[in-house]
Chain A
């Protein structure tokens, strides 16, 4: 029987640690984004604040904190205030079920069991999907509450985008769940540890999931709700200071969530990258995951591999942004309804048939 402390206090401390780490990560992802895109665009990027611009995110945060917080005169003040918080809170909440190392990395401190995941619910993946769909309400409400025309258009666009891309986002992972026979984020990685990365079995699924995830996060080339060329800044045109920073934070944490989810479901979460050598020499993956050490070593290796893979997936976000023009509103809908949904349904059917055939052959 778990004590109250075990059930509540330990996850609470873990959550605080994760949130603080996330804030730091987001700050440095913004720097990374600016540096990476600068590199792709043959320029230098931020290099004035601190060595090689490393203190730039700190300067940005200070600037945003000190900026005047403007609320339009006719805005609905409560909703205007609520919207950025909704965006950020839901994005953070989705992180609760992301495991960053295996169960063998469970630490025991003062008799308390500290697992490398805040909570492992058996419907973890579905929880992430439902939480992230609430987040889009923040954008719709923010656009509406500003009582201004450009944010309104941005909010309307995001409402349409939300409905269109929630569906393929959910459908895309069904194939993976069918194969692993679980919706728990921890168990799906453990399945991959026993067999192989689901990426090899679900190449179409991962593409669909990633594209829908980019659209769900309003990132280029699907950044219509904040399309700067036609809608000025879209739903956050009227936001400034810390409220604007919260939208920003929410968007970047959502990016991390989608990347982490892609890694967890398809690329083996905390498992090391072995380029298939594990099948020939089982000692290699064992060595790369720190099997020779105790739980602390397991944790360090798990977090390292997880963070590395998440970073690589995040990098694709930046790459996309530097490469593609923006879709138009109706074309976005077209891609969502006429391409993504039929293909994901077909992929589910294919996966099901393949599973049945495999079972029949094995029997």
Chain B
């Protein structure tokens, strides 16, 4: 059905769930920041916009401040590890909602290990802990983050457990805090 490891959209053509829906923020983004938008696709009625990694903070700021978009609520932010992804190995997803106009939008930025994604903590303070969590569990680096430390795991934890190459089983002694 699909290439299991790449995560590229390979759903069957004509799947009604992938149908395009009209979206003001996508139109505005295409008009104002066309060079940042790399790809737009849809699933279950929500547009999913892939943007250039280095522009992500600017894109979110534009979406927040543009009077037609007013995407003022960053609902969540998380990272996914795609070891053989087409656009990179780490994908950061931003879920935005406008409490003014009711738009929903998913923004994505792709990166590779050690290549930082611009932090959006300046634009949305709520991103602070969410980015720390993405760093802690998946290992995404964020540039410009005020305090990129582990948040859920102990400070001396090794590795990032939500990566697909993280071992699911272990023996005593594999980790220094596991005795």
**Is there a contact between chains A and B in the complex with CB atoms less than 8 Å apart?**
no
B-binding residues in A (CB < 8 A): none
